[in-house]
Amino acid sequence: MEKFDKLTSVAAPLPLINVDTDMIIPARFLKTIKRTGLGADLFSTLRFNEDGTDRENFVLNKPAYKDAEILIAGENFGCGSSREHAPWALLDYGIKCIIAPSFADIFYNNSSKNGILLIQLPQEEVDKLMEDAERGANSTISIDLEAQEITGPDGGVIKFDVDAFKKHCLLNGLDDIGLTLQKVDKIKEFEARKKIAQPW
């Protein structure tokens, strides 16, 4: 996966709570056997009319936010299914960071494994960023993962927490499987013990 260290972009406000994975990418688009190409159908129902034309009032269809790489959203973002197609669709569209008061567990894991940074902040701070983001093209914010800092459009700095291991993997673009395979001896020892203790 790609490394994530710093990012500067317009932030798009999506002030909805419980944005579920069916909203991010409906099941009918999960028939692909590839990871790429899903960005075209990201937020399909919110983004497009039934005839396929853009819904003008959807945030990513507004010219100021077309190139946004950061989303500001409501609580419990990513709830629902385990489909990794959700972070794949976000990434394929160009979203690299989401800031919200809370995230669903599986979505959180899936995102970090694809190089998307999810930042959880207290509601008041998200509200402030949401307000800033409403300012359209003037709502550029900067994220520094190493320093764990968000710099708002007016220069104010917000600190954020991130799991140390996930930070390490994101900063270095590390593949979990490669890391785990370095521990193959421990896995084999575990299997040998288990075979004796639980022979069924």
Partner 1 sequence: MNEATTLYDKLWNSHIVDEQEDGTCLIYIDRHLVHEVTSPQAFEGLRKNGRGVHRTDLTLAVADHNVPTTNRSGVIKDKESRIQIEALEKNCFDFGVELYSMNDIRQGICHVVGPEQGFTLPGTTLVCGDSHTATHGAFGSMSFGIGTSEVEHVLATQTLIQQKCRNMRVTVNGNLSRGITAKDLILAVIGKIGTAGGTGAAIEFSGDAFKSLTMEGRMTVCNMTIEAGARVGLFAPDETTFEYLKGRPKSPKGGAWELAVNYWQTLKTDPGAKFDEEVAMDASEISPQVTWGTSPEDVTTIDGQVPNPADIEDENRRNKMERSLEYMGLEAGMLMKEIKINTAFIGSCTNSRIEDIRAAADVVKGRKVANGVQALVVPGSGLIKELAEQEGLDQIFIEAGFEWREAGCSMCLAMNADKLKPGARAASTSNRNFEGRQGPGGRTHLVSPAMAAAAAITGHLTDVRDLD
Residue numbers 169-188 binding partner 1 by CB under 8 A: 176-177, 179-181, 183-184, 186-187
Q: Which are the contacts of 140, defined by CB distance < 8 A and separation ≥ 6? A: 8, 9, 10, 11, 153
Q: Which stretch binds partner 1 (CB under 8 A): 3-11, 63-71, 144-152, 191-199?
A: 191-199
Q: Which are the contacts of 108, defined by CB distance < 8 A and separation ≥ 6? A: 78, 118
For partner 1, the closer of residues 9 and 102 by Cβ is: 102
Strand partners, 173: none
Q: How far is the CB of 197 from partner 1 (least distance, A)?
A: 8
Q: Binding to partner 1 by residue 6, rule CB under 8 A?
A: no
- The site map against partner 1 for 22-51 (x = CB under 8 A) is xx--xxx-xxxxxx---------x----x-
In the list 43, 74, 139, 158, the residue contacting partner 1 (rule: CB under 8 A) is 74
Phi/psi of residue 29, each to 5°?
A: -95, 10
Tell the residue number behind the tokens 């995102």, with chain if given.
Answer: 111
Alpha helical stretches, state H, 113-160 = 123-133
Give the rounded distance of the alpha carbon of 140 from its chain centre: 18
Q: Which stretch binds partner 1 (CB under 8 A): 5-13, 68-76, 89-97, 141-149?
A: 68-76
Pairwise CA distance, residues 37 & 92, whole Å: 6
Q: Which stretch binds partner 1 (CB under 8 A): 54-62, 72-80, 137-145, 154-162?
A: 72-80
